[in-house]
Structure 1
Amino acid sequence: MSTVIRLGTRRSALAQAQSGHVAAALEEISGRPVQLVPIVSEGDTNRASLSEIGGQGVFATRLREALLRGECDLLVHSLKDLPTAQPTGLVIAATPKRVDARDVVITRDGTGLAELPAGSRVGTGAPRRIAQVRRRNPEVEVVDIRGNVDSRLERVASGDLDAVILAAAGLSRLGADSPLRREDLELADWPTAPGQGALAVETTESAPDDLRGWLAELDDEATRIAVTAERAVLSGLDAGCQAPMAAHAVQTDAGLHLQAAVFSPDGGRRLDIDVTEILDEGYIRRNGSGNGADAADGADPMHAARVFGMSAAHRLLEQGAADLLPRE
């Protein structure tokens, strides 16, 4: 590895902004300059609906190819866009502390999503959000949209759309400033995609020890445990990252709290699980469920979190989740 650390990133303003945050932190830790290497992904060039082109790696595949070819030394991904299967030769070396995981509704006048009048046009391209919008307000028209944050905000400002659904994390990372009004959707009622609000810093398994060590300093264990459980739900359901499902975990005084949901595309059905587990000395103890304990290997909290998430997925499947999910 040369003196300059090369960080591969998508070309979008949001991707470059979040990569820039990681680059600045890595420069401080390593004392070396970090250069952003823009890479075009299929998700950036294919303007079809995400539900049509599929969610499995549409934003990540080209970047990972570049990393394996040596065009860069590491990558920064939005974790919610990553498939759960880890490619051979690559490793998630750090999961920095997560920011706001909520979705937000952006409107011109501050009208809440549930109060928008019949026929209002609400823009979003994610199947999960489409289902949630239809469930919250069946009278609105959902418009399947693509594009960066600025273009989506402009469609509301111009009157083309009455509202858009965006990730709070993206707005904060971009520092987006707009006269439009914002409604925060609380996670208890509106859970979001596994890994939303979190980043994944990826490098090769053969990366130099000094780079791996610097990246380890960026890692936030509480975030990694939470997103490990969330992504295990996704993996256990055998669904892609554009499936109409949600999972959010957070560490509390009582243990690791996980809420997960699967939706029918029309929003008419929602299957839920809401459970807390205690990760203690390498074991998961379900809090108050009366179902005993599952042993983890050694004292690895990541394994425990993965078992927890897979168990939640199994319980959703027992409720009939497979009937609501597209297979990828």
Structure 2
Amino acid sequence: MRTIIVGTRQSALALTQTGQAVEKLKKLAAEHGIECEFEIKKIVTKGDRILDVTLSKVGGKGLFVKEIEQALLDGDIDMAVHSMKDMPFELPEGLVIGAVPKREDARDALITRGPASLDELPQGALVGTSSLRRASQLQHARPDLRVESIRGNIDSRLRKLEEGNFDAILLASAGLHRIGWQDRITAYLPPETCLPAVGQGALCIECRGGDDFVLELLGKFQHEPTALAVRAERSFLGRLNGGCQVPIGAYATVSTDNGDSGDGQPLLTLTGMVGTPDGTTLLKESASGSDPEALGLLIAEKLVAQGADRILAEVKE
């Protein structure tokens, strides 16, 4: 009987989604005769400690995963449950993505104190978000709105809204779904209006590359359509050398109607965007293909040809 130690951030959402993942892994282990038990270990990351400045100003990649990855490398934990959107493109040597489970709703959610949609927000309404990606697309759709940074966990952001500090806030719907607060959502923003972050709604189960016992178990947790979509999105991210501190979005879908690319492979459709933080410029491209990495690179190159690299360089500076 092996005890598998699972690392996670200590926020309510992180603990909830880690607990849900562990329960599914327990069932998979029992179904396949794999003898193991699980222990959850909370780890504080840099992104959790620094809450008084915007994510774009904290700097560095892996704000919410670096300390957890170090615990993996040190052998203090055996696997980690991350939100895929927090994962940098490059993983530390020796670590791998062991499984990508089925994706939750990838859309962004609008939560307001009155109006029922983005269009119904009054002119000049104050909207809170910690994401330059959301701010860029929101300002592009509604240049009249005021956008200010809001940090903290989900319940603290909702409390700031209820206390009247904001007229509306934007959150990932996946997190609200996982903790059972979907009734707080006023409206879902379609990808056509607000393209999600790379990997948004998906989980990443990370482990050591040489841990065959854990890899065998995680292989049974993999959801291949989600994994393919995430691979395309992360390929796009990697080419643009982006992260959660820059206004980049990407969302891939995988055909589920028995159609394919013509060579027997699933057909993916990927849309990627890069925008200025104020929303005055918003570059967006879409394409379809069967190779997720090639598709991500294709969309990235199309945006680079339109000046995406210059936008991102200016934001980082």
Tell me the TM-score normalized by structure 2. 0.91
The residue aligned with 2:186 is 182
Say how many residue pairs are matched.
Answer: 300
The residue aligned with 1:264 is 276
Query: Residue deviations 1:93-119, cap 9 Å, x none?
Result: 100011100001001223322331233
| Matched-pair contact (CA < 8 Å) for 1:102–1:168 | yes
Residue 164 of structure 2 aligns to a residue whose secondary structure is: coil
Query: What displacement does 1:259 show?
Result: 0.8
Distance in 2 separating the partners of 1:305 and 1:140: 36
The residue aligned with 1:235 is 238
Distance in 1 separating the partners of 2:302 and 2:207: 34
Q: 1:101-140 counterparts in 2 under 5 A?
A: 101-140=106-145
Alignment equivalent of 1:36, drawn from 21, 40, 55: 40
* C-alpha RMSD of the superposition: 1.5
Distance in 2 separating the partners of 1:269 and 1:177: 32
Deviates more, 1:310-319 or 1:245-254: 245-254
Q: Which runs of 4+ in 1 moved over 3 A?
A: none
| Matched-pair contact (CA < 8 Å) for 2:134–2:247 | yes
Query: Counterpart amino acid of 2:176?
Result: L
Q: 1:124-273 counterparts in 2 under 5 A?
A: 124-176=129-181, 180=184, 182-207=186-211, 209-252=212-255, 253=259, 255-273=267-285
| Matched-pair contact (CA < 8 Å) for 2:56–2:244 | no
Deviates more, 1:243-252 or 1:108-117: 108-117
Query: Counterpart amino acid of 2:241?
Result: D
Residue 218 of structure 1 aligns to a residue whose secondary structure is: coil
Q: 1:42-53 counterparts in 2 under 5 A?
A: 42-47=46-51, 48-53=53-58
| Matched-pair contact (CA < 8 Å) for 2:137–2:282 | no
State percent identity of aligned pairs: 40
Query: What displacement does 1:55 show?
Result: 5.5
Distance in 1 separating the partners of 2:247 and 2:148: 16
| Matched-pair contact (CA < 8 Å) for 1:49–1:125 | yes
The residue aligned with 1:96 is 101
Query: Residue deviations 1:205-263, cap 9 Å, x none?
Result: 121x2221111000011111101100111111122233101100011236211111111
| Matched-pair contact (CA < 8 Å) for 1:110–1:181 | no
| Matched-pair contact (CA < 8 Å) for 1:41–1:61 | yes
Tell me the TM-score normalized by structure 1. 0.88
The residue aligned with 1:59 is 64
Residue 21 of structure 2 aligns to a residue whose secondary structure is: helix
Distance in 2 separating the partners of 1:223 and 1:322: 28
Q: 1:61-80 counterparts in 2 under 5 A?
A: 61-80=66-85
Consecutive unaligned residues in structure 2, runs of 5 or more: 31-35, 261-266
Distance in 1 separating the partners of 2:316 and 2:244: 11
Query: Counterpart amino acid of 2:85?
Result: K
Query: Residue deviations 1:158-186, cap 9 Å, x none?
Result: 212110000010000111265x5511101
The residue aligned with 1:17 is 16
1:274 lines up with 2:286 in the alignment: yes
| Matched-pair contact (CA < 8 Å) for 2:55–2:244 | no
The residue aligned with 1:6 is 5
Change beyond 3 A, Cα 1:36–1:149 = same
| Matched-pair contact (CA < 8 Å) for 1:108–1:162 | yes
| Matched-pair contact (CA < 8 Å) for 2:109–2:185 | no
Query: Counterpart amino acid of 1:102?
Result: R
Distance in 2 separating the partners of 1:247 and 1:240: 12
Query: Residue deviations 1:13-51, cap 9 Å, x none?
Result: 111111111110111122432111000000110112101
Distance in 1 separating the partners of 2:48 and 2:281: 32
